[in-house]
């Protein structure tokens, strides 16, 4: 991302954020499940961009919030009507991910779609998610993420594969134990040969986790 350009020319992002905030709970409730799902993924990603833009430049999103704060708990999103705890507060990014996306849609593919402004994240898609093509977008996004050797190495070495820490942090979303996680990965792949090898090995295959890169996902010198 070019965060410096977002600061220099904020109008397009601000207009999009306003369009998200203008949606009412009643209006959103009339949409299809796929439309609502896409809306909340887009909201998470867009408001993350705003947070980094407005609080930066920083080397990592984790620098936002100070020593004792968290960027994901900062209440800056003007969508109080959707507060999961019904206290009418501004939302934080954790509200969207853990209070809305995960419990309401129960689809682990969302972890390949939401982006926390870090190099270790699945890449930020270069288009918004749309309800009419959401399943295809999520399928493509997951496959791209899984086959990126910098983020997931699915080659079996000494009875193990090495995958993103996201599979550790949200293990229950991917099925829980190592065998279930391996089978979830195999189900998403577009490579039948690799998928078959993982399924056959899954009862004994161990899952290990790669280091997570919290560096900001910014173009050089454009934080």
The average pLDDT across 77-86 equals: 96
The average pLDDT across 43-63 equals: 97
Place 109 in a pLDDT band, splitting at 50, 70 and 90: very high
Place 68 in a pLDDT band, splitting at 50, 70 and 90: confident
Place 79 in a pLDDT band, splitting at 50, 70 and 90: very high
Whose tokens are 């942090």? That residue is 169
The average pLDDT across 38-57 equals: 98
**pTM of this structure:** 0.96
pLDDT tens-place string over residues 126-175: 999 999 999 999 999 999 999 999 999 999 999 999 999 999 999 999 99
% the chain with pLDDT above 70: 100
Question: How far is 190 from 221, CA to CA, in rounded Å?
Answer: 36
Task: Please provide the average confidence, as pLDDT, over all residues in the chain.
Answer: 97
Q: Look at residue 66 in the predicted model and tell me its pLDDT.
A: 75
In DSSP notation, 3-63 reads HHHHHHS-HHHHHHHHHHHT--HHHHHTS-HHHHHHHHHHHHHHHHHHHHHHH-S-S-GGG
Residue 102, pLDDT > 80, answer yes
Greater pLDDT, 32 or 67: 32
Domain boundaries, the chain: 3-131, 146-209
% the chain with pLDDT above 90: 98
Q: Look at residue 67 in the predicted model and tell me its pLDDT.
A: 75
Q: Look at residue 169 in the predicted model and tell me its pLDDT.
A: 97
The average pLDDT across 60-71 equals: 89
DSSP secondary structure code for residue 119 in this structure: T
């Amino acid at each position: 991302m070019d965060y410096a350009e977002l600061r220099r020319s904020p109008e397009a992002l601000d207009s999009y954020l306003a369009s998200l905030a203008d949606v009412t709970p009643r209006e959103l409730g009339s949409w299809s499940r796929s439309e609502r799902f896409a809306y909340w993924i887009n909201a998470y990603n867009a408001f993350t961009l705003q947070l980094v833009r407005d609080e930066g430049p920083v080397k990592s999103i984790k620098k936002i919030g100070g020593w004792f704060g968290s960027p994901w708990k900062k209440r800056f999103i003007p969508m109080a009507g959707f507060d999961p705890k019904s206290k009418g507060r501004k939302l934080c990014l954790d509200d969207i991910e853990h209070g809305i996306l995960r419990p309401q849609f129960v689809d682990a593919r969302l972890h390949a779609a939401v982006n926390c402004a870090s190099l270790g994240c699945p890449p930020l898609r270069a288009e918004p998610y749309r309800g009419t093509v959401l399943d295809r977008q999520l399928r493509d996004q997951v496959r791209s993420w899984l086959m990126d050797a910098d983020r997931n190495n699915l080659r079996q070495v000494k009875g193990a594969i090495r995958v993103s820490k996201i599979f550790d942090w949200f293990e229950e979303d991917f099925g829980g134990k190592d065998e279930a996680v391996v089978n979830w990965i195999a189900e998403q792949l577009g490579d039948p040969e690799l998928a078959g090898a993982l399924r056959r090995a899954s009862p004994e295959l161990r899952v290990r986790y790669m280091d997570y890169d919290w560096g900001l996902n910014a173009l050089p010198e454009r934080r």
